[in-house]
């Protein structure tokens, strides 16, 4: 599920935004006040990134993931220019040219709201979650809360579908009452992990590549989601917000009854693929999310606002799987998230607000990875 950082700016961190408008961490002195639109594509501190290229130029583009052969990506976008008033799934082949002047192939048929697409083995089909079973239109966004807190909707109509590269649905992989979404696939092509609220809480489940043998692998109160397999398929990395105090537990349960979660406090956890060996690897505070394993399997790249002075400054960081060696990777001044390595480990793709001309656009960027 995509984090709408613009809503965070407006609702969650408004007070903090008024306190300090300096650029984070001593980076280039660009501000997001609108007076001088940021045109930076590559910040000088970003030593792990080379030859950065912007792939999109408008709208809200996120969760781009490589095909198994690295020749394509699938992603979700909200873009009025593409007649997409809420997130829809697209695919793009790098041989097709440039998405800045050519619309990519629509996969989700413009039906419902979608999230979390991922290629299946063979690169001829893509799985994604959609609310299409509940209607063709975009479901309503949550109403603005009087307390100003930011929430995610957990739409009960989300099911997980499989479409071919032309967008035709060929299978309903995971369905049933309640939320089923956030599915990703192991590098070995044998397992899928997804998030569901079928137990009454938001837990992680795995299943075989055909949707069979669905097994719950987390069981502690709180939202567990956004999981990815390690390169060798033996472990999972995921984000979690696990309330501990009586007040936080009550708030979490009350929101869940309304089909909502509050993702402003999340940490990263690793476990074995069967759920054993669970351990927390970040203790940074604020929102740590969108994790993905480094090709070595020994590190994790993720998005975090823990160093931001204004709350909405999300950058990419890397950490060892034992929780040591935290390193900052990007130095944008508003938002970098959704990193994914290509399957050969040579490329990194991510979403960013850099070089958006002072607009609210979130675009896709791809770079050569430098260890």
Second-level CATH architecture of 5-13+50-369: 6 Propeller (2.120)
Residue ranges per structural domain of the chain: 5-13+50-369
pLDDT per position as a tens digit, 27-58: 333 334 444 667 899 999 999 999 999 999 99
Extract the tokens encoding 243: 């309330």
pLDDT per position as a tens digit, 150-167: 899 999 999 999 999 999
Query: Would you give the end-to-end CA distance of the chain in angstroms?
Result: 29
Entry pTM: 0.91
Phi and psi, residue 160, nearest 5°: -110, 125
* Vertex 351 angle, CA 346 and 357, to 5°: 125
CB 296 within 8 A of CB 319: no
Query: Over its length of 371 residues, how does the chain's per-residue pLDDT go in tens digits?
Result: 655 544 443 333 333 333 333 333 333 333 344 446 678 999 999 999 999 999 999 999 999 999 999 999 999 999 999 999 999 999 999 999 889 888 999 999 999 999 999 999 999 999 999 999 999 999 999 988 888 888 999 999 999 999 999 999 999 999 989 999 999 999 999 999 999 999 999 999 999 999 999 999 999 999 999 999 999 999 999 999 999 999 999 999 999 999 999 988 999 999 999 999 999 999 999 999 999 999 999 999 999 999 988 767 999 999 999 999 999 999 999 999 999 999 999 999 999 999 999 899 999 999 999 99
Extract the tokens encoding 288: 């740590």
């Amino acid at each position: 599920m995509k984090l709408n950082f613009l809503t965070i700016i407006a609702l969650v961190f408004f007070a903090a935004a008024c306190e300090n408008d300096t650029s984070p961490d001593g980076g280039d002195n660009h501000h997001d006040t609108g007076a001088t639109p940021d045109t930076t594509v590559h910040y000088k501190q970003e030593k792990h990134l080379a030859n950065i290229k912007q792939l999109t130029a408008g709208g809200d583009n996120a969760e781009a993931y490589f095909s198994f052969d690295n020749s394509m990506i699938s992603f979700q976008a909200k873009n009025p220019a593409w007649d997409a008033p809420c997130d829809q799934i697209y695919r793009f082949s790098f041989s097709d040219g440039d998405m800045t002047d050519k619309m990519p192939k629509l996969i989700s048929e413009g039906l419902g709201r979608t999230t979390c697409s991922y290629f299946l083995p063979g690169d001829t089909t893509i799985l994604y979650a959609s609310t299409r079973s509940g209607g063709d239109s975009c479901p309503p966004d949550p109403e603005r809360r009087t307390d100003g807190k930011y929430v995610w909707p957990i739409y009960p109509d989300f099911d997980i579908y499989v479409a071919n590269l032309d967008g035709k649905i060929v299978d309903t992989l995971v369905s049933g009452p309640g939320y089923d979404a956030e599915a990703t696939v192991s590098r070995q092509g044998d397992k899928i992990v997804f998030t569901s609220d079928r137990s009454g809480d938001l837990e992680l489940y795995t299943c075989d590549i055909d949707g069979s043998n669905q097994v719950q692998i987390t069981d502690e109160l709180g939202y567990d989601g956004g999981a990815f397999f390690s390169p060798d398929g033996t472990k999972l990395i995921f984000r979690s917000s696990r309330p501990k105090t009586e007040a936080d537990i009550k708030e979490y349960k009350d929101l869940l009854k309304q089909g909502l979660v509050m993702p402003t406090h999340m940490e990263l956890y690793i476990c074995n693929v069967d759920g054993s060996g669970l351990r927390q690897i970040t203790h940074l505070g604020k929102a740590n999310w969108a994790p993905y394993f480094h090709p070595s399997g020994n590190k994790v790249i993720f998005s975090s606002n823990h160093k931001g002075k204004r709350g909405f400054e999300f950058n990419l960081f890397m950490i060892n799987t034992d929780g040591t060696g935290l390193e900052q990777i990007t130095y944008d001044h508003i938002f970098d998230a959704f990193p994914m390595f290509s399957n050969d480990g040579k490329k990194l793709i991510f979403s960013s607000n850099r070089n958006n001309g002072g607009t609210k656009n979130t675009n896709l960027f791809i770079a050569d990875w430098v260890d």
